[in-house]
Amino acid sequence: FPSHDNRGGSLKGFFVFEKLRQTGIYPHDEVPLHEQRLRLQSALTFKALRLELANETFFYLQRSNPPRFVLPDLNPKSAWNPKWSFYQSPSTEIFNRFDRAFVQMDLGPTKIVIGKQVIPIGVGQIFNAVSQMQRYPLIFIDPEFPKTEDAVTVIWTGPLQWEGRYLPKNPGQAKDNFHLRVKGDWLGADWALTAGRSDDKEFVGTESALNIGDSLLRAELVSYLKRNKTYGQGLLGFDTVFSAAWSSKWEVFYNGFGGVSHRSAPFQGTWYGANLTSWEIHPLLKANLLSILNFEDPSALFHLYFNYSLSSSWDLLLGQFLNRGKGTSEFGGEIPLGPGISLGQPDITYAALRWYF
């Protein structure tokens, strides 16, 4: 008989205060809001077949702050949009969406996955060099669950692991996408070669990871071809553990697209650096500081947050996003959008209560 596993979910409540950076778009710069996220997930396994589902319901309540004109939706689209809205007004929204829904077949060394799934490609943990992979905005509270994509995946594991993925085109794309990847061990390091079409760009790339004692060195290079022009993306990462209480992740990111539209990299600059440092103050209390720097503006984004474990199923988050920059800088400035109109990244202070069941 089929067996159920991974049944459960979470309920999260967020209390947020946003300080907007904008001119001529919204009537108010200060916006308090409340958000509830309910996640239900389950998996059903029968011999070599596995079905996994995760559904999320969102409730938003905020100070009414309608823009003076219709703003474009810049969020990446999916081939299948499993989202529907129950209610929407200038201050309230309730909607539902499938976060993941896939069937997996394990056939000896071969695995086939069909549906909305996580695409584990690339070694970036703060930045992402592969454009088809959606990522959360740099300012997003509690990105616990990885973004998913609609895909058909075939993986064969032997002396080398071979991966092939077909991703149907999304709204706004001209052609379907595909990824090919082969990975293995060489000279004590994990290596992968990649190729395919992503976001209407052909690409080839390589990625690697090498353990050095308690540290990990990561690297990734990707070359894209679009309209006979070549663009590059790359990152270098280093993770280390200083002690039982202190750890840190570093990344340097090269965005060869600059300000050119790129699905998962809506950056304004070319060179970035980032650091995520974690400190376990107490077995129940952990502090984290994420710092992202645009070397060219220069400008910086800081995210300080604390996680306190109330019990085995309850925890509390307290945090703040803080931008620092001037003029039209990416972080802390305002980007001109038209005469008398500009928009920048907001500063956000928040508290969140999370329950897992």
User: Stretch 197-202: mean pLDDT, rounded?
Assistant: 89
User: Stretch 241-266: mean pLDDT, rounded?
Assistant: 84
Per the listing, tokens 């280390």 go with 240
Instruction: Look at residues 43, 173, 58, 47 and name the one whose alpha carbon lies nearest to residue 115.
Output: 43
* pLDDT, tens digit (0-9, with 9 covering 90-100), for 88-129: 999 999 999 999 999 999 999 999 999 999 988 789 989 887
* pLDDT, tens digit (0-9, with 9 covering 90-100), for 139-198: 899 999 988 999 999 999 999 999 999 999 988 889 999 999 999 999 899 999 999 998
Q: Is residue 291 classed as helix, strand or coil in its secondary structure?
A: strand
Indicate whether this model's pTM tops 0.75: yes
User: pLDDT at residue 353 above 70?
Assistant: yes
Measure the CA–CA gap between 239 and 242, rounded to whole angstroms. Answer: 10
pLDDT, mean over the chain: 92
Cβ atoms of 328 and 335 within 8 Å: the answer is yes
pLDDT band at 1 (very low <50, low <70, confident <90, very high): low
Percent of the chain scored above 90 by pLDDT? 77
Q: Which residues contact residue 42 at a Cβ distance below 8 angstroms, ignoring those fewer than 6 apart? A: 4, 6, 7, 8, 52, 53
- Span of 1-15, 29-43, 269-283, 319-333 with lowest mean pLDDT: 1-15
Per the listing, tokens 């309850």 go with 314
pLDDT at 132: 56
Q: Which two tokens stand for residue 172?
A: 């706004």
pLDDT at 340: 93
* pLDDT, tens digit (0-9, with 9 covering 90-100), for 65-81: 999 988 877 677 788 88
Instruction: Look at residues 130, 135, 152, 148 and name the one whose alpha carbon lies nearest to residue 198.
Output: 130
Handedness of CA 146, 181, 204, 271 (dihedral sign): positive
Cβ atoms of 211 and 238 within 8 Å: the answer is no
* pLDDT, tens digit (0-9, with 9 covering 90-100), for 164-180: 999 999 888 899 999 99
pLDDT at 311: 96
State which of 81-85, 199-203, 312-316 shows the largest mean pLDDT.
312-316
- Strands of the sheet with 22-23, listed across from one edge: 22-23, 341-343, 335-338
pLDDT at 107: 95
User: pLDDT at residue 288 above 90?
Assistant: yes
Q: Which residues contact residue 207 at a Cβ distance below 8 angstroms, ignoring those fewer than 6 apart? A: 122, 123, 191, 192, 194, 218, 219, 220, 221
User: Stretch 24-41: mean pLDDT, rounded?
Assistant: 97
Per the listing, tokens 């509690």 go with 142
Number of neighbouring beta carbons within 10 Å of residue 318: 14
pLDDT at 35: 97
Measure the CA–CA gap between 281 and 32, rounded to whole angstroms. Answer: 30
pLDDT at 93: 96
